[in-house]
Amino acid sequence: MATNVAQFLCLTDNYGVLLHDSASGATASIDAPEAEPILAAARHHGWRLTDVLLTHHHADHIQGVPRLKESFPELRVCGPAKEASRIPFLDVLVGEGDFASVGSLRAKVIETPGHTLGHVAYHFEEDEIAFCGDTIFSLGCGRAFEAPYEVLWSSLMKLARLPRETQLYCGHEYTEANGRFALTIEPHNPALKGRIEEVAKLRAEGRPTLPTTVAAELAANPFLRAEEPTIQAAVGMPGADPAAVFAEIRSRKDRF
C-alpha cells in the first residue's frame, strides 16, 4: 500500500498535484488550476481521477473542474463549505475537523482563513503531507485578500503547529521572489540564506522548490517568525504582539 504524489506546473506558476492511493486506486487532484496538465499527468501515471479537493474559490484553483468532470463524470468534488456559494460544483462540503477521503486515505480538514474567508488545508496525517493552497508558500504566505492580517496569522500558526516533518504542498512556485523579500527582513538568518542558495540551484535546473516542510519554514520563513526578537527589531517593533509584527511584514510585502 502506498501513497503517491505527483506535482506539476499549471498555468504560469500554479502547481497541480495528484494524490494516488494504490490500495484503492483512488486519485485526487488537489485544486484544479488547468484541466489539460492534470489529465496528462493522470494519463502518464495510469491513474483514474476519482476526487478533487479544493482549497479555495479563486479561479486559478477551481477553473479546471468542469473539464475534469467531462472526462470523469463520477468525479467527486470536495471543497470548503464556507465557500459553497462561490464554487458552483461542490459535491462534498467540509469545514474544520471534518475528514476528506481519497480511497483509503484520510485528510483532516483545517480551516485556514485569511487569503480567502473559507480557505481550507488538507492534512493527511498518516502520510505527513499537507496541501495548503494559497495560505503558506515557501518563504512567504498568501495575500490577506478577504480578512484582516491577524486572521491569516492565526491560520499560519495552525500550519506551523503541524508535526515538523510534515511536507507542505503550496499552490504556487513563488519561492525565489519570496526569498528576495525575506532577505530584507532577516538578512543574517543562515537558514534563510541556505534555503535561497538551494532554491537558486533548483530553479536553475528547472526543478520545483516544493514541497517544503514545517521545519524548513519555521527556520527560514519570516512570516512564521514574527515572535523572533531579531525580526521584531528589524521592523522596529521589539516586544510587540506577534500578530501585529506579522501584519507589518505582510503589509511591507504587499508594497515590495
- Shortest approach of Fe ion to residue 97 CB, angstroms? 25
- Shortest approach of Fe ion to residue 73 CB, angstroms? 27
Q: Which residues contact 5 (CB under 8 A, 6 or more apart)?
A: 17, 18, 19, 20, 129, 169
d(CA 187, CA 13): 26
Contact positions with Zn ion (CB under 5 A) in 126-155: 134
Binding string, 190-209, against Fe ion, x = CB under 5 A?
Answer: --------------------
Active site residue 57: no
Query: Can residue 60 be called a binding residue for Fe ion (CB under 5 A)?
Result: yes
Query: Can residue 140 be called a binding residue for Fe ion (CB under 5 A)?
Result: no
* Active-site position among 56, 57, 119, 123: 56
Of 94 and 231, which has the nearer Cβ to Zn ion?
A: 94
Partner that binds at residue 173, options Zn ion, Fe ion, none, CB closer than 5 to 8 Å by kind: none
Backbone angles phi, psi at 128, to 5 degrees: 55, 50
Residue linked to cell 482549497: 55
Query: Can residue 186 be called a binding residue for Zn ion (CB under 5 A)?
Result: no
Active site residue 91: no
Binding string, 166-185, against Fe ion, x = CB under 5 A?
Answer: -----x--------------
Active site residue 60: yes
Query: Can residue 58 be called a binding residue for Zn ion (CB under 5 A)?
Result: yes
Of 56 and 225, which has the nearer Cβ to Fe ion?
A: 56
Active site residue 20: no
In this chain, which of 134, 173, 217, 248 binds Fe ion, going by CB under 5 A? 134
Query: Can residue 217 be called a binding residue for Fe ion (CB under 5 A)?
Result: no
d(CA 171, CA 13): 8
Query: Can residue 173 be called a binding residue for Zn ion (CB under 5 A)?
Result: no
Of 119 and 225, which has the nearer Cβ to Fe ion?
A: 119
The region, left, alpha or beta by phi > 0 then psi within -120 to 50, assigned to residue 198 is alpha
> Which residue in 150, 114, 158, 139 sits closest to 246, CA to CA?
150
The one segment of 11-19, 39-47, 58-66, 199-207 that binds Zn ion by CB under 5 A: 58-66
Site residues (vs Fe ion, CB under 5 A):
60, 134, 171
For the annotated catalytic residues, the residue numbers are 56, 58, 60-61, 115, 134, 172
Q: Which residues bind Zn ion (CB under 5 A)?
A: 58, 134
